[in-house]
Structure 1
Amino acid sequence: MILVARMVLRRVLLLVPLLLGIILFVFLVMRFSDMDPASAYFQGANPTQEQLHQFREENGLLDPLPVRYADFVGELVRGDMGISVLTRAPVVDQVTTALPLTMQLAFLGLGFAVVLSLLLGVTAAVYRDRLPDQLIRVVSLTGVAAPAFWLALLLIQYAAVDHGWFPTGGYINPNDSFSGWLETMTLPALALSLPVAAQLTRIVRTAVVEELDRDYVRTAVGSGLPPVVVVGRNVLRNALINPLTVLGLRVGYLLGGAVVIETIFALPGMGKLMIDAVRNGDPAVVQGVVLTTAVGFVVVNLVIDILYLLINPRLRSAT
């Protein structure tokens, strides 16, 4: 346990330079973008050049880049992401309001992807080179090639418009009605998760096939253990190491893809906040959304690394 705690601590410490690099990258991209906080602040008011210059000077927009970066990092450490130049509200408040919905969508989609990939991947491996395996291969290839927004439109047309099983959009808070929340989130989560499930299915199938060909599986089956027990207790645990690593990378896709999916289904999450900020030229909000998404991706991958370490004893012993 001491060794595991050391390795976890080491990975946590490595996050510090990584997060500083992410902050620097986002800072530079936003500073060299076409978005002008001064123009957005006076939007529709026809300000003079003197007013624009005064706004930039009062808000430190004319300071050298190193000074502005240091101030920016200091504000982030204090939990301050700036003020929206349009709503005059703190960006932190807007992000904390929109983030829970995006997290709900991303993790519900992650749950769908994990369940579907395990069912299809294990089934394809057990029935390899037979009809179920061939059908699952075709379905997984189709899912990998299909973009999430196209799947979203198909799901809306089939499940919402043609049959009325789910609403076409909108959001119901789970505290108000859990069944209503599930109805409004099912189609967006499915559209977001199907491409990820298709990719994971192929990886799970390959990993399970490799494990099924190992000697210990033949020994266990030959000794009289039911194949279901062997697959569930031994094969699946050993085979999930590689898919778990890939799953960490796919979480970034789920968080990023939520931007498009939320727009299609009219969900008031980080995606809608980002689109509205880009449309209205509000750089502080765009910056806050991008930073929050990037940090979330890094933290989730840290959790995946820790889980990978815990379920892989060979990695612990090698380290």
Structure 2
Amino acid sequence: MIVVVRMLVRRVLSLIPLLLGVVLFVFVVMRFSPTDPAMAAFDGGNATQAQLEKFRQDNGLDDPLPVQYGRFVWRLLHGDFGTSVITKQPVSDSIATALPLTVQLTLLGLFIAIVLALVFGLTAALFRDRWPDHLIRLVSLGGVAAPAFWVALLLIEWLAVGGGLFPTSGYVNMNDSFGGWLQSLALPAISLSLPVAAQLTRIVRTSMVEELDRDYVRTARGGGLPPLVVVGRNVLRNALINPLTVLGLRVGYLLGGAVVIETIFALPGMGRNLIEAVKDGDASKVQGFVITIAVGFVLVNLIVDVLYLVANPRLRSRS
């Protein structure tokens, strides 16, 4: 336990410069982008030059960049993401409204991907070099190559427009109707999860095959242990270490993919709000949403690192 805590503290400390680098990158990109917050605040040409200059002066946009960056970081440390120049509302309020939906979509997609990967990856490994293995490997290869937005469009055509089983767009709050919530997020979550599930299936299958060929497995089987006990107690735990590492990166893919999927299904989450902020030239909102998504990605990878440490006793002993 002490080793886990020590490594967790080291990982957290190493994330501090990474987060500062992300904040700096977002700040520099937005400051050198063609987007002018003053023009966006006055809806383009509906303002005089004097009004634009006064807006920039009131909001510190004419200060030197180091001063602006220091003020930006100081506000972030106090949970202040600024104010939207379009809605005149705090960006943190928009994040608090949109973030829960994106988290729900990501977690549901992650759950579907993990279940599919375990079922088909284990099946392919246990029926190695037989027709179930060949079929699963072929289908998973196609799933890896299929982009999420293309899968989303196909699912809308087949299951929403053609079958009428799911809504084509919109979101139902879980508190209003659990069934409606599940229906509204089913197609977006499946669209996000299928490419991830395909990749994880291939990794689970490869890890399981390597583990099944080890000497301790042959010894256990020779000693009379049932195959289900050998696979469930030893092989599966050891084989899931490598997929667990990849899973952290795939969660980042889910977060990034939500930007497109939420737009396709008209879901009012982080992705759709980010797209609208970019179109409106709302720099404060873009900064707040991008930083929130980046911090979420970093935290997820930290959690995966801890799970990897817990699942791998050899790594703890080396530490």
Deviation at 1:104, TM superposition (A): 0.4
Deviations 1:227-256 (A, max 9, x none): 122111111100011100000011111001
Checking the alignment, whether the CA contact within 8 Å between 2:39 and 2:45 is kept in structure 1 is: no
Deviation at 1:122, TM superposition (A): 0.8
Secondary structure of the equivalent of 2:17?
helix
5 Å-filtered alignment, 1:44-55, equals: 46-55=46-55
The residue aligned with 2:304 is: 304
Deviations 1:21-57 (A, max 9, x none): 1100111011111111100111056212121111111
Checking the alignment, whether the CA contact within 8 Å between 2:270 and 2:289 is kept in structure 1 is: yes
5 Å-filtered alignment, 1:230-249, equals: 230-249=230-249
The residue aligned with 1:313 is: 313
Q: Which moved more, 1:47-56 or 1:308-317?
A: 47-56
Distance (Å, rounded) in 1 between the aligned partners of 2:95 and 2:55: 25
The residue aligned with 1:271 is: 271
The residue aligned with 1:60 is: 60
Secondary structure of the equivalent of 1:169?
coil
One-letter amino acid matched to 2:108: L
One-letter amino acid matched to 2:198: A
The residue aligned with 1:161 is: 161
Deviation at 1:91, TM superposition (A): 0.2
Secondary structure of the equivalent of 2:86?
coil
Distance (Å, rounded) in 2 between the aligned partners of 1:281 and 1:24: 19
Distance (Å, rounded) in 2 between the aligned partners of 1:210 and 1:79: 47
The residue aligned with 1:224 is: 224
The residue aligned with 1:179 is: 179
Distance (Å, rounded) in 2 between the aligned partners of 1:46 and 1:2: 62
Matched, 1:137 2:109: no
One-letter amino acid matched to 1:149: F
Which consecutive unaligned segments of at least 5 residues does structure 1 have? none
Deviation >6 Å, runs of 4+: none
Deviation at 1:16, TM superposition (A): 1.0
Distance (Å, rounded) in 1 between the aligned partners of 2:50 and 2:233: 72
One-letter amino acid matched to 1:307: L
Distance (Å, rounded) in 2 between the aligned partners of 1:211 and 1:44: 62
CA RMSD between the two structures: 0.9
Distance (Å, rounded) in 2 between the aligned partners of 1:232 and 1:166: 36
The residue aligned with 1:71 is: 71
Distance (Å, rounded) in 2 between the aligned partners of 1:3 and 1:115: 31
One-letter amino acid matched to 2:169: G
Deviations 1:161-212 (A, max 9, x none): 1111111111111111111111111110000000000111111110000000
Secondary structure of the equivalent of 1:92?
helix
Secondary structure of the equivalent of 1:181?
helix
Distance (Å, rounded) in 2 between the aligned partners of 1:190 and 1:112: 7
TM-score (norm 2): 0.98
The residue aligned with 1:43 is: 43
One-letter amino acid matched to 1:6: R
The residue aligned with 1:102 is: 102
Checking the alignment, whether the CA contact within 8 Å between 2:56 and 2:62 is kept in structure 1 is: yes
The residue aligned with 1:201 is: 201
The residue aligned with 1:118 is: 118
Distance (Å, rounded) in 2 between the aligned partners of 1:133 and 1:44: 59
One-letter amino acid matched to 2:129: D
The residue aligned with 1:22 is: 22
One-letter amino acid matched to 2:148: A
The residue aligned with 2:3 is: 3
One-letter amino acid matched to 2:310: L
